[in-house]
Every structure is written in structure tokens, then in C-alpha cells.
Structure 1
Amino acid sequence: MALALTSGPAVEPVSLAEAKAHLRVDEDAEDDLISALITSARSWVERQYGLALITQGWSFYLDRVPDAGAVALPLAPLQSVESVTFHAGDGGTSELDADGYAYDALSNPARLVFKSVSGGASLRRLNGIEIAYTCGFGDAADDVPAPIRQALLLLIAHWFERREPVPAGGEPPEVPAMVAGLLAPYRQVRL
């Protein structure tokens, strides 16, 4: 299984002005650093919690249809499934009609269920099925839940104040407990 970003977020969930106000920074000298910290904090939260904060396009690749016919999509919240494409071993592709699958955006993780699938034997051996989907809380920063936005601001401040490098092979410093607490309701439970 592989996951590939096809269209990234158009905006960050926290603006430079919001982060600077939270940090109480009035000068412009640190703008590049703060902007990088905003992007890094968003990326860290998305990676750690299996989320897409702002609307993003992704392709999820499978080698074959799972025996149960259901696929858990790795990022939440799911907005829509755009297409399901089969990649043949000879280089050709075919798109599954929307009637051939259903998806459940309310589940966590979201699921796609194949209603009927034919031609599985002719799929290429690696990444033969591509599920293109859109996920995220919405297009604007205000669509992201307030606790997540607050956690981002706290994480940005934590990293801004502690600029020490992580030794090679070492563990990065833990995030503040308040950040983890604000994000806890958004953690996907894996059994």
C-alpha cells in the first residue's frame, strides 16, 4: 500500500499573523522561521494523527482488492472519493464506475467498499488499484476545529522557544502535554 499527495492544502490552518500574535513577535525578522514552523506543525499533526487539516487530494494504492472487499482509507476526514482506477499489467487503465463501490465518510477511519470487481487477475503486481480521494476539514483555516488550531499555536510556540537540534538517531523532544491533550480526541484508534 502506498499513499501519494496529489494536491496539497491551499492555505495553512494558522496564518503567519495569528502565529506572530500568539508568539508576541512584532518584528518581521523571524517571519521565515515562523512560516516554516507553521508548515512543520501542520505536517507533524497530520502525520501523527492521520488527518488532513485543510482540503487535500490523495491517491491510495493497493496491490489487489482485499478479501473482505473493504478498504480503510488512511487519512481523515474524508470528503469524497473521486475515482477508483485499475492499472493493468500491460500499462492500460480502466476506471471503476461509481456504482461499483460505496464509501462511508462518517466512519473513522473512512471506508471504501467494492460492490463488484472484475479483471483483478490482469492488474499490475504492485499498486494495481488507485483510489483518488479528497480529505480535510475544509478549504479555509476556520474550518479546522478550534482545539486543533490551538494545539498548532502551542506547538509552534514550543518549537520557537526551543531551537535545539535533535541528535542523529536520537528521539525528538516530546511535545507539551497540553498539545497532546488538545489533539487526543482526534487520534484514530487502531486495534
Structure 2
Amino acid sequence: MDIQQTSEATGVIITLEDAKKHCRADDFGDDDALISLYIDAAVDWVQSVCQTRLERAEFTATGSRFDLGFAGYPDPEITSVGYVDDLGAAVTLDASRYALRDGRLIVYGAENVASARVVFVAGLGPGNVPARLVQAMRMLVAHWYLNREAVGAGLAQVPLGVRDMVATYRSFAFG
């Protein structure tokens, strides 16, 4: 199934104030917009490297059949499950006709499925992200803030300390 994020993430993993303090830029507001962009980029980078959703958001999965695993989408809560049958009739399933088992969606009694749709909310959410990943994001924001270009002798795009902090979570699904 193809999964797309269909809502804005809820909660904040790193606040602007926290990032500014880490960057030692908390005495002025001139760079707030820039630091906010770095925060978004750092969260996105860590999510991509770890292959898991840190921010809690709504997702919609669509496909020609119910073949949905939640690796990389921790703590999933299914909002709705439905399908269109081969005659074009839309069917919405009640909660007794589907279940989560071993990180996969199990659907009972769905016949002649032409297209399937599953809406769910997933992600670790603020307060549940490991401290090491939060610190790696802070460090990444500060690095990008202080070194606006990835050029120069000995200057890496991503500091080795950040890579080391994130390494233990790579290719690891939290849920």
C-alpha cells in the first residue's frame, strides 16, 4: 500500500526556544525563521535515517488490497478502514472486522476489493522520542546554523557526533 501523510504533525519535538538556547542565539529573534527551518530539516533528517516517524500525524494508506505493515510507524491507531468492491460499492468496515497483529493489519470478510483505504495515526510524539535523538537534532540544528554552507576544509554536512548518536537507531522500527 502507498502511505501518505494527510495531516500536520501534532506536538513539537524541539521547540524554537530550546534550539535557540542550544545555538546560543536566545538573546535575539532575528534568526527565528531560519532556526525553525533547521529544526524541521533536522527532524526530517533523523526520521529519514531512522526510518521511523518521530512526529505524531495522520496517514492514509491506499492500494489494491489490504497489505499493510506498520514498520516505521510506531504506536498506530486505526481511524478507518474501507474499500471499494469490484462493482463500485464503497464499504466501511467497523472495528470488529479488522485488527492489528504483529505489526500488520488483518482484515476479515473483505471480498472483491478493487481499492483499499486505511486511515491511521502514528508516530512516537513529543516526550517519547529517545533523548539521544533529541540531542542529535539539537546538534544538527546548531551545526547548520553556525555553518551555513557545507564547504571548507574539514567541514562535514552532518557532524560525526550526530551520526554516532543516530547510528544505533538506524533501520530500526520503534513500533
Q: TM-score range by the shorter chain?
A: 0.7 to 0.9
Secondary structure, aligned partner of 1:153: helix
- The offset of 1:95, in angstroms, is 1.4
Secondary structure, aligned partner of 1:142: coil
Deviations 1:119-138 (A, max 9, x none): 22xx1xxxx21111111223
Deviations 1:12-70 (A, max 9, x none): 2100110011011122111110011111111222233232223211011222234xxxx
Q: Which runs of 5+ in 1 are unaligned?
A: 167-172
**Structure 1 residues 189, 18: CA separation in 2 closer, same or farther (over 3 Å shift)?**
closer
- Are positions 1:129 and 2:130 aligned together? no
Contact 1:6 1:57 in 2 (8 A): yes
- The aligned runs of 1:10-159 (5 Å cut-off) are 10-25=10-25, 26-66=27-67, 71-88=68-85, 92-104=89-101, 110-120=103-113, 123=114, 128-138=115-125, 141-159=126-144
Normalised TM-score (structure 2): 0.81
- Are positions 1:179 and 2:172 aligned together? no
For these two proteins, the number of residue pairs brought into alignment is 168
Contact 1:62 1:130 in 2 (8 A): yes
Contact 1:100 1:114 in 2 (8 A): yes
Deviations 1:77-111 (A, max 9, x none): 1231122111346654211232222214xx5xx32
Question: Percent identity, aligned pairs only?
Answer: 30
Secondary structure, aligned partner of 1:20: helix
Secondary structure, aligned partner of 2:82: strand
Give runs of ≥4 in structure 1 deviating > 4 Å. 88-92
Secondary structure, aligned partner of 1:77: coil
C-alpha distance in structure 1 between counterparts of 2:78 and 2:168, whole Å: 25
Deviations 1:122-173 (A, max 9, x none): x1xxxx21111111223xx33322112111101111211222279xxxxxx6
Structure 1 counterpart of 2:8: 8
C-alpha distance in structure 2 between counterparts of 1:143 and 1:53, whole Å: 8
C-alpha distance in structure 1 between counterparts of 2:127 and 2:34, whole Å: 23
**Structure 1 residues 56, 156: CA separation in 2 closer, same or farther (over 3 Å shift)?**
same
C-alpha distance in structure 2 between counterparts of 1:12 and 1:179, whole Å: 20
Normalised TM-score (structure 1): 0.75
Structure 2 counterpart of 1:169: none
C-alpha distance in structure 1 between counterparts of 2:150 and 2:162, whole Å: 20
Contact 1:60 1:73 in 2 (8 A): no
- Are positions 1:160 and 2:160 aligned together? no
Contact 1:12 1:38 in 2 (8 A): no
**Structure 1 residues 38, 130: CA separation in 2 closer, same or farther (over 3 Å shift)?**
same
- The offset of 1:183, in angstroms, is 2.2
